[in-house]
């Protein structure tokens, strides 16, 4: 899922300064699991904004709702009226939700209440871990399920660097060495792929290639028809 | 083009070589490189110039190597994967060879987190093994992406290995990958644990890697017990046994004891089959190199 984290309140208050009618919109999927943009957080955000404006003696009208996912137009449309009535939408979703809102409701301004951190999963209660860099050319078959692009601080593909110590990464004793983990996976499953030399990657499959679109030919064609 | 690497010729000739490491200045004044170069003249066969080591911004490795070259010294340019993508790396290597600097040492680089620009975007487009492969291709006139160079680049390619890093039992295989990718000389992380190093070399010999690449054992003289503790705790990849630190701490003259330990280590290293030389990393203590070389009888 997409791991997110709330922005500091002063930053949000400052970006909302020009607006009187604000629609606080939570997101029911990733942001909810991240305890940053679910129903509870959306209500708390609305209350905090009201309190702040009250103290400043500036008027504010707030409405609150949560949609299942802000990244799908059909789901956003369930709150069409609130979006249209507001001066600004404060989105408690990842950057994708914010961009979706701005794109589907171009006459409105949607602003981010949240920072999008990375792709990952909840490792334990209150802790979320980065697992995927969306490189566009998955190599988890080679490493048996541990992503060296993400989990190795240097994205090394041919084994650990010289800074690995007692299973930990050189950047922090809190970070496990991904290559130590990969080697343990190989040993556990009796596969030994260490001697292979992995050639330079084509990063253009992922973040390096400029903005990308995935087109599923038959479906996209049917839609055009 | 010039006559290729002098350093390579010495190694092939079978000389037990000595290399030393110089760190470029944190300023645009390169005179310190000339001063240090002058002091190393006649004592070392080649001089490594580090590439923004520990991710601290310094004058460029290539620029400082050019200074050394102009003094008649033999530089080894260090190139890390941290700061440059394959376009810049290949371009810099071509430039280096064009300026008569043929010795190129490929490293991943210390993580940007350690330096004075912790907000920098680490590049790591290639890893060190891939960089070696790319440079090997350039020796045959081929770029990483497959395009042809107008002429091959005469590079003497080196790499590093840390025999003391975890997972220990994979360090020899990792070196083999580097050799297969084209490393013709290896400079190791500094040796404090000689027994462990001897065991590592045994593994290297078993695979015959010492016959395919020239292995230079790394050395760092410690100035004091405190400095040793700092290195052990803070510098990635350095392993110093407690008995070494205790020995320095007990000594009346800690600097002198640091030199003694180094000279003894050199003597042990010279007896190991497959060691082609030593590489002295005396950062911030460059002046000690001539003393070490003299005392170890390596002149």
How large is the average pLDDT for residues A54-73? 97
pLDDT category at B208 given cuts 50, 70, 90 is very high
The A residues from 166 to 195 touching B (CB cutoff 8 Å) are 166-167, 170-171, 177, 179-180, 183, 194-195
The dihedral of CA B197, B202, B203, B208: what is its sign?
A: positive
For residue B243, the SS3 value is helix
Phi/psi for A6 (5° steps) reads -65, 145
Angstroms from B294 CA to nearest CA on chain A: 31
pLDDT category at B284 given cuts 50, 70, 90 is confident
- Pairwise CA distance, residues A182 & A160, whole Å: 10
Q: How many CB atoms lie within 10 A of CB B161?
A: 25
Domains contained in chain B, CATH given: 6-295 (3.20.20.220)
pLDDT category at A210 given cuts 50, 70, 90 is very high
Higher pLDDT, B284 or B226: B226
Rounded to whole angstroms, the maximal C-alpha distance in chain A is 68
Residue-averaged pLDDT of chain B: 96
pLDDT category at B213 given cuts 50, 70, 90 is very high
Which pair of structure tokens corresponds to residue B276?
A: 């082609």
**A116-to-A3, A61, A225, B226 alpha-carbon distances in Å:** 6, 27, 36, 43
Helix axis angle for A9-16 and A39-56, nearest 10°, is: 60
Q: What is the DSSP string of A120-189?
A: EEEEETTEEEEEE---SS--HHHHTS--HHHHSTT--SSS--TT-BTTEETTEEEEEPHHHHHHHHHHHH
- Pairwise CA distance, residues B110 & B268, whole Å: 29
How large is the average pLDDT for residues A58-81? 96
Is A159 within 8 Å of B129 when comparing Cβ atoms? yes
- Pairwise CA distance, residues A83 & A23, whole Å: 7
- Pairwise CA distance, residues B250 & B147, whole Å: 60
pLDDT in tens, B255-272: 999 999 999 999 999 999
pLDDT category at B1 given cuts 50, 70, 90 is very low
Identify residues of B whose CB sits under 8 angstroms from chain A CBs.
81-82, 86, 108-111, 113-114, 122, 124-130, 133-134, 144, 160-162, 165-167, 170, 173-174, 176-177, 180-181, 189, 236-237
Dihedral of CA atoms B259, B260, B263, B265 in degrees, nearest 10, equals -110
Is A165 within 8 Å of B113 when comparing Cβ atoms? no
**Cα B7 from chain centroid (whole Å):** 13
Angstroms from B63 CA to nearest CA on chain A: 26
- At residue A225, the pLDDT reads 63
pTM: 0.95
- Cα-atom radius of gyration of chain A, to the nearest Å? 22
Q: Across-strand partners of A12?
A: none
- If we measure between CA atoms, which residue out of B22, B114, B105 comes closest to residue B67? B22
**B58-to-B67, B108, B185 alpha-carbon distances in Å:** 15, 17, 25
Residue from A148, A150, A154 to probe the interface with B (highest B Cβ count within 10 Å): A154
Contacts of B31 (CB under 8 A, 6+ apart): none
Checking DSSP bridges between strand A2-6 and strand A114-124, what pairing results, if any?
antiparallel
* Low-confidence winner among A218-222, B87-91, B193-197, B199-203 (lowest mean pLDDT): A218-222
The A residues from 28 to 67 touching B (CB cutoff 8 Å) are none
Given a cut of 90, whether residue B169 has pLDDT beyond it is no
pLDDT in tens, B122-134: 999 999 999 999 9
Cα-based angle B1, B178, A158 (whole degrees, multiple of 5) = 125
How large is the average pLDDT for residues A138-151? 97
Helix axis angle for B128-139 and B86-98, nearest 10°, is: 50
Angstroms from A160 CA to nearest CA on chain B: 8
**Residue length, chain A?**
225
pLDDT in tens, A81-105: 999 999 999 999 999 999 999 999 9
Contact indicator for B259, B295 with CB cutoff of 8 Å:
yes
Given a cut of 70, whether residue A137 has pLDDT beyond it is yes
Is A170 within 8 Å of B174 when comparing Cβ atoms? no
For residue A208, the SS3 value is helix
How large is the average pLDDT for residues A120-135? 96
Q: What is the DSSP string of B20-54?
A: EEEPPPSSS-THHHHHHHHHHTTT-SEEEE-SSGG
Contacts with B108 from chain A: Cβ below 8 Å: 154, 156, 161-162
Cα-based angle B136, B269, B235 (whole degrees, multiple of 5) = 70
Helix axis angle for B171-181 and B128-139, nearest 10°, is: 20
Contact indicator for A51, A71 with CB cutoff of 8 Å:
no
Is B176 within 8 Å of A195 when comparing Cβ atoms? yes
Given a cut of 70, whether residue B2 has pLDDT beyond it is no
**ipTM for this prediction:** 0.92
Given a cut of 70, whether residue A178 has pLDDT beyond it is yes
Instruction: Give the closest of B113, B129, B165 to A158, CB-based.
Output: B129
Contacts with A163 from chain B: Cβ below 8 Å: 110-111, 162, 165, 236-237
Strands (E), chain B: 17-22, 46-49, 75-80, 103-107, 156-161, 185-190, 214-219, 275-280
- Pairwise CA distance, residues A171 & A181, whole Å: 16
pLDDT category at B236 given cuts 50, 70, 90 is confident
Count interface pairs A-B at CB distance under 8 A.
Answer: 98
- Pairwise CA distance, residues B76 & B53, whole Å: 14
Is B127 within 8 Å of A154 when comparing Cβ atoms? yes
- Pairwise CA distance, residues B40 & B22, whole Å: 10
Cis peptide before A12 (omega within 30 of 0): no
Contacts with A205 from chain B: Cβ below 8 Å: none
For residue B213, the SS3 value is coil
In chain B, what percentage of residues exceed pLDDT 70? 99
pLDDT in tens, A20-54: 999 999 999 999 999 999 999 999 999 999 999 99
Q: Which residues of B199-224 are buried (b: 16+ CB within 10 A; e: fewer)?
A: ebbebbbeeebbeebbbbbbbbbbbb
Contact indicator for B52, B115 with CB cutoff of 8 Å:
yes
């Amino acid at each position: 899922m997409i791991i997110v984290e709330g922005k500091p309140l002063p930053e949000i208050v400052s970006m909302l300064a020009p607006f009187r009618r604000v629609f606080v919109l939570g997101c029911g999927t990733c942001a909810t699991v991240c305890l940053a943009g679910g129903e509870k957080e959306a209500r708390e955000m609305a209350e905090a904004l009201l309190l702040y404006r009250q103290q400043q003696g500036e008027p504010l009208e707030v409405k609150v709702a949560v949609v299942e996912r802000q990244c799908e137009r059909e789901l956003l449309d369930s709150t069409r009226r609130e979006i249209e009535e507001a001066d600004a939408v404060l989105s408690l979703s990842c950057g994708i939700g914010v961009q979706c809102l701005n794109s589907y409701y171009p006459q409105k301004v949607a602003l981010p209440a949240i920072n999008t951190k990375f792709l990952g999963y909840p490792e334990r209660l209150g802790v979320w871990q980065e697992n995927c860099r969306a490189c566009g050319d998955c190599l988890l078959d080679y490493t048996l399920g541990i992503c060296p692009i993400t989990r190795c601080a240097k994205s090394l593909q041919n084994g650990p660097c010289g800074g690995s110590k007692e299973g930990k990464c050189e950047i922090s004793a809190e970070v496990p060495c991904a290559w130590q983990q990969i080697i343990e996976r190989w040993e556990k499953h009796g596969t030994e792929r260490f001697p292979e030399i992995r050639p330079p990657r084509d990063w253009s499959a992922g973040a390096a290639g400029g903005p990308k679109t995935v087109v599923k030919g038959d479906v996209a064609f049917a839609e055009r028809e | 083009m010039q006559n290729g690497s002098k350093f390579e010729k010495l190694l092939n000739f079978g000389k037990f070589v000595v290399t030393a490491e110089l760190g470029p200045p944190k300023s645009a004044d390169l005179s310190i490189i000339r001063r240090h170069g002058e002091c190393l003249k006649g004592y070392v066969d080649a001089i490594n110039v580090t590439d923004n080591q520990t991710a601290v911004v310094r004058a460029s490795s290539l620029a400082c190597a050019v200074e050394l070259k102009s003094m008649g010294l033999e530089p080894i340019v260090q190139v890390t994967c941290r700061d440059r993508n394959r376009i810049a790396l290949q371009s810099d290597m071509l430039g280096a060879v064009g300026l008569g600097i043929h010795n190129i040492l490929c490293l991943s680089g210390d993580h940007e987190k350690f330096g004075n620009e912790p907000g920098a975007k680490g590049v790591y487009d290639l890893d060190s093994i891939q960089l070696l492969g790319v440079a090997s291709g350039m020796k045959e006139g081929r770029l990483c992406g497959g395009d042809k160079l107008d002429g091959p680049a005469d590079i003497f390619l080196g790499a590093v290995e840390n025999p003391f890093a975890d997972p220990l039992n994979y360090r020899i295989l990792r070196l083999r990958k580097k050799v297969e990718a084209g490393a013709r000389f290896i400079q190791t992380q500094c040796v404090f644990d000689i027994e462990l190093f001897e065991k590592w070399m045994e593994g290297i010999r078993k695979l015959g890697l010492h016959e395919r690449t020239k292995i230079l054992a790394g050395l760092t003289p410690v100035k004091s017990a405190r400095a040793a503790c700092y290195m052990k705790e803070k510098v990635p990849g350095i392993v110093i046994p407690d008995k070494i630190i205790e020995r320095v701490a007990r000594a009346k003259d800690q600097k002198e004891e640091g030199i003694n330990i180094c000279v003894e280590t050199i003597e042990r290293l010279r007896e190991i089959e497959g060691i082609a030389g030593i590489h002295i990393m005396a950062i911030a203590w460059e002046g000690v190199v001539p003393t070490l070389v003299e005392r170890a009888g390596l002149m």
